[in-house]
Amino acid sequence: MLPVSAEVVIIGGGVHGCSIAYHLASKGMHGVVVLEQKYLTYGGTGRSAAGIRQQFGTEINCRLAKENIKGFIRMKEELDTDFDLELEQGGYMWLAYTEGQLNQLRENVRLQSSLGIPSKILNPDEIKELIPLLDVEGVLGASWCAEDGHVNPHRVTFAYYEAAKRLGVKFYTYTKVVDIEIEKDKVKAVVTDKGKISTRKVVNAAGPWGKEIGKMVGLDIPVVSERHQIMVTEPVNRIIKPLILCQDDGSYWKQEPTGGFLIGMDNPNEKKGYDVGVTWQFMEEVSRRVLKKMPILRDVRVVRQWSGPYDITPDSQSIVGPVEEVEGFYLDVGWSGHGLQFAPSIGRIMSELIIGEEPFISVDVLSFNRFKTGKLIPEPACI
Amino acid sequence: MEKFTDDDVIVCRCEDVTLGQIREVIRRGYTDPEEIKRITRAGMGPCQGKTCRDIIIREVARITGKRIDEIPVPTYRPPSKPIKVGLLAEESD
Ligand SMILES: Cc1cc2nc3c(=O)[nH]c(=O)nc-3n(C[C@H](O)[C@H](O)[C@H](O)COP(=O)(O)OP(=O)(O)OC[C@H]3O[C@@H](n4cnc5c(N)ncnc54)[C@H](O)[C@@H]3O)c2cc1C
Ligand code: FES
């Protein structure tokens, strides 16, 4: 049974919703409710490539990313969880195939260095030395950060969930939000298919579906949902740790700590919408691309394939914080394919904003308002 | 010598998950097979859960007292048989 009222209702049981819930409760807030239309991790969270990195190209993301890494390092203790979160700092490499790409990477690394991120530019010989199995034909250089890596997205989410639950947060799965009631531009209640909850504060952490939630309060949130596919191989001996991203054809891969290779690619022609189906063409195309670079994978068998939605914004940048139009309505959406790793820092910042504290890093530049003022901040380091 | 119990039985041979581990996550309150799969990896292996899925659903039903048909079945994720990367690549040439 749903409660009749709540202090805060968080819409979305992904990694962001669960992190916000945990951070609010750990600050002593009571009456926090999380609503999820299916099961926890149903959305992008359960379908990601699980990469974490500090190699971003905008100051705000670099500053948050440093905090994310720190957050993952202390997470096991902070959340007091016995789940193996599989945190592995095996590195992350962006390969450049044109002068333009290399210049952009140089610019990113300059920014990252100025903010204390230990990334650097590598020449092809240095790349070969780090990853002897990689075919570097056509590669002009790379950017590299040894502190970046991998984390288990499911277990991180469930660890936030369990910690939040212990602190009194109530979670309701298979409960879909169908409307939000507003009175005099203030949030009044959340309506679900299982009943109504009165509340003054609502957090839209619905990922790609955030656009639909926005419509319920009359906001047009510029998020487009785009399908991204990925496949994984059988586990094999560990031969490579970093995530490798090729900027010529958008392919990327990494070997998970459990041994399977996760393989994906950027495809500008992918279907828009919330469809999470898969195609045979994807497996063929991505196999062709990745074999050119990692011929050793020829005899490894693919065992699973899936897809998930990216919530893409016009500047590939998240939308975070309260909105001017509706009092009590908060956004944490639009993560444009890199949102898993921001759960530690943004969960904390969202809780600070909701409680009315000064956020430990200002996220004003990420506000919804930027689409009205035109102050977009395009993130160049996206896959 | 210690005796083997039901808990030591390997339910998911592909991912090496025991019945004891499955029971432990169910006891912790995870009764959705999708959640159980995502926490334990049972069902993510090369056979795609063909061997372990039904055992897990039965165990959820037994512990929660629900009927089998009340329990959501995890999504099946192709390919139906493991296939070499090299073979997939050739098909697109
Ligand atoms: C193929 C792929 C690869 C990726 N790789 C990476 C990576 O390497 N690193 C990285 O950091 N990120 C990656 N991402 C992105 C990352 O997965 C997402 O940015 C992140 O998980 C977003 O989390 P979230 O909690 O904001 O949203 P979601 O996980 O999408 O959660 C939103 C939840 O809201 C629920 N919901 C929606 N509507 C309603 C409603 N009306 N009522 C109730 N509930 C509702 C949904 O069911 C969903 O569970 C990848 C994504 C994909 C698809
Ligand atoms: S036995 Fe569980 S996936 Fe094969």
Residue B16 contacts A, CB cutoff 8 Å: no
Residue B70 contacts A, CB cutoff 8 Å: no
Q: A159 and A303: one domain?
A: no
- B32, A158: Cβ pair inside 8 Å? no
Contact B6/B13 with Cβ under 8 angstroms?
no
* Non-local CB neighbours of A32 within 8 Å, separated by 6+ positions: A6, A7, A8, A10, A21, A24, A25, A164, A168, A169, A170
Mean pLDDT of all residues in A270-279? 87
Which pLDDT belongs to residue A25? 98
Q: Check pLDDT > 90 for residue B51.
A: no
Domain of A99? Answer: 88-148+225-309
ipTM at complex level: 0.89
Bridge-based pairing state of the strands A170-172 and A149-150: unpaired
Say how many C-beta atoms besides its own lie within 10 A of residue A82's C-beta.
9
Point out the residue among B77, B86, B88 whose CB comes nearest to the CB of A304. Answer: B77
The pLDDT > 90 percentage for chain A reads: 97
Q: Check pLDDT > 90 for residue B23.
A: yes
- A41, B91: Cβ pair inside 8 Å? no
Q: A299 and A237: one domain?
A: yes
Check which CATH number belongs to the domain holding A114 and give it: 3.30.9.10
Binding-site residues, ligand 2, Cβ < 6 A: B 12-15, 42-43, 45, 47, 49, 51-52
- In sequence order, the β-bridge partners of residue A182 are A187
A278, A309, A340 — which closes off a domain? A309
Q: Which CATH superfamily is domain B6-92 in?
A: BFD-like [2Fe-2S]-binding domain (1.10.10.1100)
Point out the residue among A298, A303, A305 whose CB comes nearest to the CB of B45. Answer: A303
A13-37 per-position pLDDT tens digit: 999 999 999 999 999 999 999 999 9
Q: Check pLDDT > 70 for residue B2.
A: no
Q: Please name the residue whose Cα sits nearest to atom 1 of ligand 2.
A: B12
Total number of domains in chain A: 2
* Residues A339, A36, A353, A26, CA torsion sign: negative
Which pLDDT belongs to residue A109? 98
Q: Which residue has the tokens 């950060």?
A: A145
- Residue of A283, A285, A290 for testing the chain B interface, max B β-carbons within 10 Å: A283
Which pLDDT belongs to residue A125? 97
- B48, A303: Cβ pair inside 8 Å? yes
Q: A325 and A219: one domain?
A: yes
Bridge-based pairing state of the strands A329-333 and A319-322: antiparallel
A285, A309, A333 — which closes off a domain? A309
Range in A162-166, A302-306, A332-336 with the lowest mean pLDDT: A302-306
Which pLDDT belongs to residue A263? 98
| Radius of gyration from C-alpha coordinates of chain B | 16
Q: A351 and A218: one domain?
A: yes
- Residue of B38, B81, B85 for testing the chain A interface, max A β-carbons within 10 Å: B85
Mean pLDDT of all residues in A180-190? 98
- Mean pLDDT (chain A) is 97
Contact A263/A290 with Cβ under 8 angstroms?
yes
- In-domain check, residue A364: yes
Q: Check pLDDT > 70 for residue B1.
A: no
Cβ–ligand 1 contact at A165 (below 6 Å):
no
A56-83 per-position pLDDT tens digit: 999 999 999 999 999 999 999 999 999 9
Contact A193/A175 with Cβ under 8 angstroms?
yes
- In-domain check, residue A2: no
Range in A170-179, A308-317, B65-74 with the lowest mean pLDDT: B65-74
**CA of B82, closest CA in chain A: separation in Å?**
5
Distances (CA, A) of A325 to A178, A184, A302, A320, A371: 20, 10, 48, 14, 13
Q: A267 and A369: one domain?
A: no
Q: Please name the residue whose Cα sits nearest to atom 51 of ligand 1.
A: A48
Q: A216 and A229: one domain?
A: no
A158 contacts on B by Cβ (under 8 Å)? 30, 35, 38-39
Phi, psi of A231 (to 5 degrees): -140, 165
Residue A80 CA, ligand 2 centroid: distance in Å: 30
- In-domain check, residue A359: yes
A309, A332, A362 — which closes off a domain? A309
Q: A258 and A193: one domain?
A: no
Residue A247 CA, ligand 2 centroid: distance in Å: 35
Q: A43 and A173: one domain?
A: yes
pLDDT band of B3, cuts 50, 70, 90: confident
Mean pLDDT of all residues in B50-60? 93
Check which CATH number belongs to the domain holding A186 and give it: 3.50.50.60
Which pLDDT belongs to residue B92? 57
Q: Check pLDDT > 60 for residue A144.
A: yes
- B38, A285: Cβ pair inside 8 Å? no
Q: A187 and A230: one domain?
A: no
Six token digits for residue B37: 């799969």
Contact B56/A251 with Cβ under 8 angstroms?
no
- In-domain check, residue A57: no
Q: A196 and A243: one domain?
A: no
Alpha-carbon gap, residue A135 to A137, rounded angstroms: 6
Task: Scan residues 17-36 of B and list those with Cβ closer than 8 Å to A.
Answer: 28, 30, 32, 34-35
* Position with higher pLDDT, A275 vs A320: A320
Residue A5 contacts B, CB cutoff 8 Å: no
Contact A59/A115 with Cβ under 8 angstroms?
yes
Residue of A nearest to B82 (CA): A303
Point out the residue among A38, A46, A291 whose CB comes nearest to the CB of B85. Answer: A291
Distances (CA, A) of B25 to A193, A379, B16, B83: 28, 39, 15, 32
pLDDT band of A201, cuts 50, 70, 90: very high
**CA of A156, closest CA in chain B: separation in Å?**
10
Point out the residue among B38, B41, B91 whose CB comes nearest to the CB of A41. Answer: B38
Q: A302 and A332: one domain?
A: no
- In-domain check, residue A320: yes
Q: Check pLDDT > 90 for residue A277.
A: no
Domains in chain B: boundaries: 6-92
Residue of B nearest to A307 (CA): B77
Q: Check pLDDT > 60 for residue B93.
A: no
- In-domain check, residue A77: no
Q: A111 and A230: one domain?
A: yes
